[in-house]
Amino acid sequence: MKYEDAFQDCLAGLRRGESLDAVLGRYPEHASRLRQDLLLTGALREVPGSLPSRPGSDQRAWVAVQTALRSQRQARSGRRSPGGGLPGLFGGMTRTALVGGAVAIVAVIALALSTAGGGPDLSEPVSSLIGSSNAEAATFDGVVVDNAGGVLTVQTATSLETVNVAATASINSGGQRLSLPDLAAGQAVSVKGKRLGNGSVAAMSIESQNMAALRDWCSLHADECQKLRDRLEMVVGQCRTSNRPGCQPIELRLRELRDEIAGATGRIDDLKGRCDSGGALACRELKRLCDQYKNLCKSVNQKAPGQKGRY
């Protein structure tokens, strides 16, 4: 028998659990060389378990993968909105996510706490304003920061919106009907309604999003995400102090935001160090990440004088 065939047969035998001597016994004419080569393959098999790696490398890589996935979702979402309008922020999300309740474009965080000042003008019934032909259509995504007395405060990509929710407004999550108190702080939502004369919005429908949508919103609006995190830190602090019920879901969402920001900061920090040491792959990945996390990148750059604006 040819040596190559004998070698293959011995490998198969070892794989089946036969001993080295047993498989070598079948090929006495090649035994000496086979022994050397089979011992070498045995040593090769032991290598992967002993390879060095840095702690947290898989988490850092996962951040990069998530960034790529979000970019893809955005790109697909853009392709599905050829009219030039703003593509839905959650429009490119997976069908699994859609089935699970994630369909919309923006995340909204609502909290059952009162906001300071700037309440809506309710001198006119919301329902009549919705029907007004002069009212401008308003559609946006965001995260609920406050939910008090039929009024939501929603952090969007550009501002804080006051959203009046009439009794007739539909509130849903993946086809399931919700009630207004279900929209707690940290909840991502998509709002459709009409802009009122005082700048607030009268909601006609609100779609509640899942946690993945919150992370995506945070990733796509990194600067606002940081503001949102600060607001939720305050809300959670107040919630704990006053021992109000329903703090836990808000804390969970806050944890998501913290993790998102901390993960991105760690990855940027790590890539920057390697990019500065001449790692071309790290520089490319850093640039990609910094297109998304502009403020975070600025703050990392500030740690290294003379490198400002480089990425």
| Site membership for other proteins, residue 8 (CB under 8 A) | yes
Nearer to other proteins, 193 or 263 (CB): 263
Instruction: Give the contacts of 183 (CB within 8 A, at least 6 positions apart).
Output: 108, 110, 144, 147, 152, 171, 189, 206, 208
For the chain, give the DSSP string: --HHHHHHHHHHHHHTT--HHHHHHT-TTTHHHHHHHHHHHHHHHHSGGG----TTHHHHHHHHHHHHHHHHHHHHHHHT-TTSSPPPTTTT--HHHHHTT---S------SS--SS-----SS-HHHHHH-TTSEEEEEEEEEEEEETTEEEEE-SSSEEEEEEEEEEEEEETTEE--GGG--TT-EEEEEEEE-TTS-EEEEEEEE--HHHHHHHHHHTHHHHHHHHHHHHHHHHHHHHTT-TTHHHHHHHHHHHHHHHHHHHHHHHHHHHHHHTT-HHHHHHHHHHHHH-HHHHHHHHHTSTT-TT--
Which one among 20, 64, 135, 148 touches other proteins, defined by CB under 8 A? 64
| Site membership for other proteins, residue 295 (CB under 8 A) | no
Which residue from 91, 78, 191 is spatially nearest to 138, judged by alpha carbons?
191
| Site membership for other proteins, residue 243 (CB under 8 A) | no
Judged by CB under 8 A, the number of residues near other proteins is: 53
Stretch that binds other proteins, among 4-12, 187-195, 221-229, 237-245 (CB under 8 A): 4-12
Which one among 1, 22, 61, 137 touches other proteins, defined by CB under 8 A? 61
Which one among 1, 39, 137, 252 touches other proteins, defined by CB under 8 A? 39
| Site membership for other proteins, residue 240 (CB under 8 A) | no
| Site membership for other proteins, residue 285 (CB under 8 A) | yes
Strand partners, 281: none
| Site membership for other proteins, residue 24 (CB under 8 A) | no
Nearer to other proteins, 76 or 192 (CB): 76
| Site membership for other proteins, residue 137 (CB under 8 A) | no
CB of 287 to other proteins, least distance (A): 13
Nearer to other proteins, 37 or 182 (CB): 37
Q: Cα separation of 192 and 203, whole Å?
A: 6
CB of 57 to other proteins, least distance (A): 5
| Site membership for other proteins, residue 48 (CB under 8 A) | yes
| Site membership for other proteins, residue 42 (CB under 8 A) | yes
| Site membership for other proteins, residue 50 (CB under 8 A) | yes
Nearer to other proteins, 102 or 235 (CB): 102
Nearer to other proteins, 164 or 210 (CB): 210
Which one among 52, 245, 305, 309 touches other proteins, defined by CB under 8 A? 52
Which one among 24, 89, 97, 225 touches other proteins, defined by CB under 8 A? 97
The alpha carbon of residue 93 and the mean position of all alpha carbons in its chain are separated, in whole angstroms, by 11
Stretch that binds other proteins, among 55-63, 127-135, 168-176, 245-253 (CB under 8 A): 55-63
Q: Cα separation of 260 and 165, whole Å?
A: 30
Point out which residues bind other proteins (CB under 8 A).
3-4, 7-8, 36-37, 39-48, 50-54, 57-58, 60-62, 64-69, 71-73, 76, 80, 92-97, 212, 274, 277-282, 285, 288
